[in-house]
Structure 1
Amino acid sequence: MTTERIASVPRVDPSTTSGEREALEQWLDFHRATLAGKCEGLDDAQLRTPSAPPSDLTLLGLVRHMAEVENGWFRNVLAGEKAGRVYSTEEDRDRDLRITEEDSYAEAYATWQAQIAHARTVAAGRGLDDLATGSHHSGRPFNLRWIYLHMIEEYARHNGHADLLRERIDGATGD
């Protein structure tokens, strides 16, 4: 299978003097770009390379997972769109992380970027204290500030996984 190379999102260091909302958005974008950078220059076979057994975590799975997470928090919870899931199903909630030979980075990257673009759209014009209009399975209310902070945490945790996966694939290390 041939893989077209996807250009990564430019990564910009967050400002050290910005206001709260700008800082949250900059850090979230920084972490989004970090994950894209970890996948840069790899083909689909490499992106399907699992971490150390027994884990079957892959970079491709992480991209699909983050598309799922963006969809869940911004579309379903914040905007209340009832968009459903991107990859996962009721029967297989971890389908986003389960990679097959048919799954491609080009598709996953396009889906992930579309979810990010939609996240920016639904967050625009809302205040950090504004409550989500959708519901979460926990039944708890969430404001936009909490969602931004959670997304930064989610990306930061998974970018640590991506660091180790990339090093295993080709020895590349660094931010």
Structure 2
Amino acid sequence: MTTTERTMPPTLAGERAMLEGWLDFHRETLAVKCAGLDDEQLRERAVPPSELSLLGLVRHMADVERTWFRRVLAAEDAPPLYYSKEDPDGEFHLTGEDTWEAAQGAWQAEIARARELAASRSLDDRAAGTNTSGEPFNLRWIYVHMIEEYARHNGHADLLRERIDGSTGF
């Protein structure tokens, strides 16, 4: 998904199609918010002391996709891409070497893997892994959580994009 177009979720669909439609819509929304900006603009931070940036949000969502689908749903050995115990907000600690191309590539790879892992499971299938407190999840819960996670961060992306170039509403 490198498009700057969004596919509207279906208005009449079964539960799975509805959940996947809304998740894809929110994934596409973040891509739209980043479209047309250069690496310097994508690194622009919200307001001091915040380190929030569009590039950081994309890196964060790559790790969120990785965590919930690879680590929790499938119990894959998939260490974090950008953060660590020593640097829990590493996805937002950008250097001049961090690029849109690399972040977008990692994000899209994680989305593709998430789709693969979810495709063969029912919404009721229990995840193979748990969260840090040991709670179990099913795929339905993961989809709803991912929609919530993207929706919240897309609100941040709206404000960041408006601050960068005045664009609103798309």
Q: How does the TM-score come out when normalised to structure 2?
A: 0.97
**TM-aligned CA deviation for residue 7 of structure 1:** 4.2
Give the one of 69, 72, 84 matched to 2:67: 72
**TM-aligned CA deviation for residue 16 of structure 1:** 0.5
1:155 corresponds to 2:134: no
Structure 2 equivalent of residue 116 of structure 1: 111
Following the alignment from structure 1 to structure 2, what is the Cα–Cα distance between the partners of residues 106 and 60? 10
1:144 to 1:7, Cα distance in 2 relative to 1, 3 A: closer
Give the one of 82, 87, 104 matched to 1:87: 82
Superposition pairs of residues 1-175 of structure 1, within 5 angstroms = 7-8=2-3, 10-175=5-170
Letter of the structure 1 residue corresponding to residue 93 of structure 2: R
Following the alignment from structure 1 to structure 2, what is the Cα–Cα distance between the partners of residues 59 and 8? 17
Alignment length (residue pairs): 170
Query: Whose helix fraction is larger, Structure 1's or Structure 2's?
Result: 2
Following the alignment from structure 2 to structure 1, what is the Cα–Cα distance between the partners of residues 118 and 133? 21
| Larger CA deviation: 91-100 vs 119-128 | 91-100
Unaligned runs of 5+ in 1: 1-5
SS in 1 for 2:158: helix
Q: CA RMSD in A?
A: 1.2
Q: Could you list the structure 1 runs, at least 4 aligned residues long, displaced by more than 2 angstroms after superposition.
A: 6-10
Deviations 1:138-167 (A, max 9, x none): 210000000000000000000000000000
- Quick check: 1:7–1:40 contact (8 Å CA) kept in 2? no
Following the alignment from structure 1 to structure 2, what is the Cα–Cα distance between the partners of residues 97 and 142? 27
- Quick check: 1:15–1:23 contact (8 Å CA) kept in 2? yes
Following the alignment from structure 1 to structure 2, what is the Cα–Cα distance between the partners of residues 34 and 113? 14
| Larger CA deviation: 69-78 vs 10-19 | 10-19
